[in-house]
Every structure is written in C-alpha cells, then in structure tokens.
Amino acid sequence: MSFERTLEKLKILADAAKYDVSCSSSGSKRTNTNKGLGDATGMGICHSYTEDGRCVSLLKILLTNHCIFDCAYCVTRKSNDVKRAAFKVQEVVDLTINFYRRNYIEGLFLSSGIFKSADYTMERLVAVAKKLRLEENFNGYIHLKSIPGASDELMREAGLYADRLSVNIEIPTKSGLKLLAPDKNFDDFIKPMEKVKNEIIQYKSEKKIIKSTPKYAPGGQSTQMIVGASGENDFQILKTAEHYYKNFNLKRVYYSGYVPISYDNRLPAIGSEVPMLRENRLYQSDWLTRFYGFHTNEIVNLNHQNLDLDIDPKLSWALRNLHEFPVDVNKADKRMLARIPGVGMKSVAKILMARKYRRLNWDHLKKIGIAFNRAQYFLVCDSNQFERRDLTATKLKAIILKNSNSKYDKLLSPQLNLFS
C-alpha cells in the first residue's frame, strides 16, 4: 500500500461519502468464534464524533466517486467538477483491518458511485466484503450500499457477507425523484430491497430446519431520505417511511437534512440553511412510532401535515389531545405513561417498578428524572399540587415554551438525546 496515494484517495472518497447519515453498527450477531478479528454482537460503538456532532463508528467511504449518473443532489454526479479517485479492493481491505485493529472503528460502510454499470460496481463492493470475511477472518461490521439496479444474484451474495444492506431512496416521492435524478428509475430501488427482504425471510425459515444455514444480512436493511431538497412535507416523508418499515421490514430509516452543494436551480441555493431542526423532529417522530407505541397518523395527518418546529412531536400530540390528560401516574398503563410529555421510556420503566412499593408523589417523580417542566401539566400523582387551571392548548404551549427558555432553540444531535 503506497501511503501517499492511499491518503489522497481516502480524503476524496471519505469526503464524498460523508453525506450518507447512516452510521449504526448495531443489531448484528456475528460472534468471534474462530479466534479471528472482531466481534459484531450487541450495541455498536461510536468511536468518535465529527465536529458536526455525528457519530463515527464505521469507516465510511466510497469505492469510487466516478459516476455515470447525474443526480442533482449528489456531489458525485458526473457533471460536478471534482477530483475523482477509486480504491482498489485490497486498499479498502487494508484500511479496514488496520483501523479496526487500532480500535478506531466498528467496521466498514462501503458505498460507491456507479462505474460503468450497476452490476460491475456491485461486484466490487461484494469482493471487498468477501475478502474481509474469507481471507482476513474479519468479524466486524460490514454495511454495503446496494447499487440500484444490481442483479438478484449479486444481492444474494452481498447479503452473505454483509451485516446490513441499504439502498437510499433519497427522494421520498416519485415525482421528486424524476425531477432530480432523471437517470434513476424508481423500480431500481425497489428491486434490490425486495430481494433482500425475501432472502431474509427465507433465511429465517430455513434456519429453523437447518441450523447451519449461512447468515443473511443479520443487521437487516435500512434506507435514507433527503429532507428539504424537493419540497415534500413531513406527512409525505413519515408516510413514506412507514411504508418502507412495513413492507420491507426496514431496521432504520434515516433522514438527512439537505446540505446545498450545487448551483442547480431545481434545488435550494448554496448557502441556504441546512434544515437540522426539522431533521431532528423527524427523528423524534420516528422514535415515537418505533419505541413509544405511536401511530404515524397520530403524529402527522391531513390536518396536521408538518411537524411543529418549536415543540417536540410528543408535546405537540398531547396539546392536540388534551382530553387524554391528566394521566394518573399510579394507575395508568405503560402506553399512557409513555405519552406524557417529559417522561421518557426509562422513566416509564422506573415508575412501573417503583409504584409497586408505594404510591408515587412529585418528589419521587422528580428524583426518577422526569422533566417536571413539561410533565406537570399532564399528570396527577400522590401529591396535591397539580395544575388545576383549565388551560387551553395555546396557553399551555406558551407557558411551557416560556419556562423552558432556550431548550428548544438548541440544535440537537440527529440520532441521540431525542428525549429527556
């Protein structure tokens, strides 16, 4: 490996891959049982954080930033005037292994511009994963980006070596895609996803009969949507996400606030602000549906198509559904406890445990760690002081915003610290 050349390529191909927000390295089950290198069980680890606050857990690079396509929102598009580079298969393998040995990373996230054809590119991505597993005895995490339009045969092979596969939908609606990525065909995204889904289902059923069935993409598949590039509202975005979660068993949908990178007049101009707060609200909503028992329609619907930016989606739901409150902390079921603004799932678990011993009062709840600021208007407990005024939603919102001063102005991390 020539150090100088690798260094130059790494800079170019890491820079081009950075807009992909997927970073998770959890959810796989690849134990180190062969005295090899690495272990991908349990939770992924963020080994560092970029200065913009995103987690660094995988070596995230493109195999190449040459591309025959011209998607308007992408730095790698062929009409963009940037330096091009391409890694050799062995270079990616060496970088991954050496970074892993030093505990810099959990594994590899490999994506690529399209060199020649979808299959030609996919074949090389698969070759990297295969080499890591078979020649280097590597058990760390591997996430491969499926190239839209890649053949079923290659997708099958990819899943045998990778922990996770993903295709980025990027643009949530067909019309938006047509406008911004004229070379791409909507069905080309669906096909590899469909294939991976079916392989996973088949793997699971065969596994029941034959124990030694080779693992197939144990970390499942994910996708990414760009937010704020093509005018969709939050209702469209979250409904699209719901559709993919349901029909393709996705593990994660990522939302990526569009960073303007082009003077193309189909897109927000360079210098326009990255919609980070909106992105954060989408993650919060996603979280509510995956872990808090909310239905997408409760969060956004035809009457409420955009998420509020000044308050989080749970508080927003509560204000639109005041008739469900106050919740009695000492009696309510888990589902309702989880719906109280200012009460996170960890507090819900503590409340359920602690109330077996005695009726809980404000002191107990504060110590358990609920956000009193918001919660006080939505619950009753074994204390007398609770909000008795009959406040309207608008009034309530104003009071809460006033008492929580700067809290909502801050830009939060897109994937962590979602709720207090």
Binding segment toward another protein, per CB under 8 A, in 147-155, 236-244, 357-365, 385-393: 357-365
Q: What is the DSSP string of 36-80?
A: -B--EESS----EE-TTS-EE-EEEEESB---S---TT-TT-TTS
Query: Which residue is it, tokens 């990178």?
Result: 261
Binding segment toward another protein, per CB under 8 A, in 63-71, 192-200, 337-345, 410-418: 410-418
Q: Give how many residues touch ligand SF4 by CB under 6 A.
A: 10
Which residues from 57-96 bind ligand SF4, rule CB under 6 A?
A: 67, 69-71, 74, 76-77
Binder of residue 53, out of another protein, ligand SF4, none (CB less than 5 to 8 A by kind): another protein
Cα–Cα distance, 262 to 269 (Å, whole number) = 7
Of residues 67, 92, 95, 329, which one binds another protein by CB under 8 A? 95
Task: Specify the residue, 29 or 367, whose C-beta has the smaller distance to another protein.
Answer: 367
Binder of residue 203, out of another protein, ligand SF4, none (CB less than 5 to 8 A by kind): none
Task: Specify the residue, 271 or 390, whose C-beta has the smaller distance to another protein.
Answer: 271
Per-residue burial over 276-303, b = 16 or more CB atoms within 10 Å of its CB, e = otherwise? bbbbbbbbbbbbbbeebebebebbbeee
Q: Give how many residues touch another protein by CB under 8 A.
A: 60
- Between strands 221-227 and 252-257, the pairing is parallel
Binding segment toward another protein, per CB under 8 A, in 142-150, 167-175, 327-335, 349-357: 349-357
Structure tokens at 302: 């035809």
Task: Decide if 161 contacts 122 (C-beta within 8 A).
Answer: no
Which residues from 118-177 bind another protein, rule CB under 8 A?
A: 137
SS3 assignment for 214-235: CCCCCCCEEEEEEECCCCCCHH
Residue 367 identity: K
Which residues from 175-204 bind ligand SF4, rule CB under 6 A?
A: 181
Q: To the nearest whole angstrom, how small is the minimum distance from the Cβ of residue 216 to another protein?
A: 23
* Helix residue ranges per DSSP H, 210-294: 234-248, 276-291
Task: Specify the residue, 261 or 401, whose C-beta has the smaller distance to ligand SF4.
Answer: 261
Q: Which helix (H) or strand (E) holds 164?
A: strand 164-166
Of residues 5, 83, 266, 367, which one binds another protein by CB under 8 A? 367
Cα–Cα distance, 419 to 340 (Å, whole number) = 12
Binder of residue 82, out of another protein, ligand SF4, none (CB less than 5 to 8 A by kind): none
Task: Specify the residue, 74 or 368, whose C-beta has the smaller distance to ligand SF4.
Answer: 74
Task: Decide if 223 contacts 168 (C-beta within 8 A).
Answer: yes
Which residue, 321, 319, 340, 318, is CA-closest to 329?
A: 340
Task: Decide if 277 contacts 312 (C-beta within 8 A).
Answer: no
Overall residue count recorded for the chain in this entry = 420
Binder of residue 127, out of another protein, ligand SF4, none (CB less than 5 to 8 A by kind): none
Structure tokens at 400: 């809460």
Tally of CA atoms within 13 A in the half-sphere of 360 that contains its CB: 25
Binder of residue 317, out of ligand SF4, another protein, none (CB less than 5 to 8 A by kind): none
Task: Specify the residue, 18 or 304, whose C-beta has the smaller distance to ligand SF4.
Answer: 18
Q: To the nearest whole angstrom, how small is the minimum distance from the Cβ of residue 199 to another protein?
A: 28
Q: Which residues bind another protein (CB under 8 A)?
A: 3, 6-7, 10-12, 14-15, 17-19, 31-32, 35-39, 41, 45-56, 59-60, 95, 98-99, 101-104, 137, 257, 259-260, 274, 276, 350, 353-354, 357-358, 360, 364, 367-368, 410-413, 416
Q: Which residues bind ligand SF4 (CB under 6 A)?
A: 67, 69-71, 74, 76-77, 113-114, 181
